Amino acid sequence: MIKTYTHKNIGTCSKRVDITYDTDNHKIIDVKFLYGCPGNTKGIEKLCQNRTLEEVRDALKGVVCGNKNTSCPNELSKGIDDILENL
SS3 for 17?
A: strand
Which 8-state DSSP code applies to residue 27? B
Domain around 15:
2-85
Q: Which of 82, 79, 81, 86 is nearest to 19 (CA)?
A: 79
- Residue-wise DSSP of 64-85: --TTSS--HHHHHHHHHHHHHH
Q: How far is CA 16 from CA 1, 24, 25, 80, 85, in A?
A: 23, 24, 24, 13, 19
In tens, the pLDDT along 12-24 reads 999 999 999 999 9
Question: What does the pLDDT average to over 24-39?
Answer: 97
The number of domains in the chain is 1
What pLDDT score was predicted for residue 59? Answer: 98
Give the pTM: 0.96
CATH classification at residue 6 = 3.30.390
